[in-house]
A = this chain, B = another copy of it.
Amino acid sequence: MDTPTNDAETRQERFERGLDMLTRISGEGGQRVVDALADVSPELAHQIIAWGFGEIYRRPGLAPRDRQLVTLGMLTALGGCEPQLDVHVNAALNVGLTAEEIVEALLHAAGYCGFPKALNATFVAKKVFGERGLLPVTTD
């Protein structure tokens, strides 16, 4: 885990530290989002990396695995964020959550967000698991 961000850093240094964090957590999925922004909103890409990953994600107060649990909950609840769920189901697997735990978290979500949003999120997880050879998932 990195040290917190209370030092003097240039905009470029914040970006580089964020990019390092993004690559460790989200792998290619995160990079693809950033690339797709290059010709329309490079500043949005910069801020997702430099601020989202370079300032927030690298803070030591919450483990990467825990951050993904919170994130899966938020993206499921927001709805309409299937592309971001794809990135973050991958990220969740990358930082140590198992497919079984992810499936259980999305079942848990049904009671708070209702079945439709839990279903939408679960089908994104199924797609990611399929791409990573993790199907079938066995719970209980």
Residues of A at under 8 Å CB distance from B? Answer: 4-11, 33, 36-44, 47-48, 51-52, 55-57, 59-62, 66-67, 69-81, 83-84, 100-101, 103-120, 122-123, 125-126, 129, 135-137, 139-140
A107 and B47 contact, CB distance less than 8 A: yes
A79 and B76 contact, CB distance less than 8 A: no
Closest B residue to A42 using CB positions: B139
Number of copies: 6
A40 CB contact (under 8 Å) in B10, B61, B72, B126: B126
A52 and B140 contact, CB distance less than 8 A: no
Contacts of A43 in B (CB 8 A): 59, 103, 107, 139-140
A112 and B6 contact, CB distance less than 8 A: no
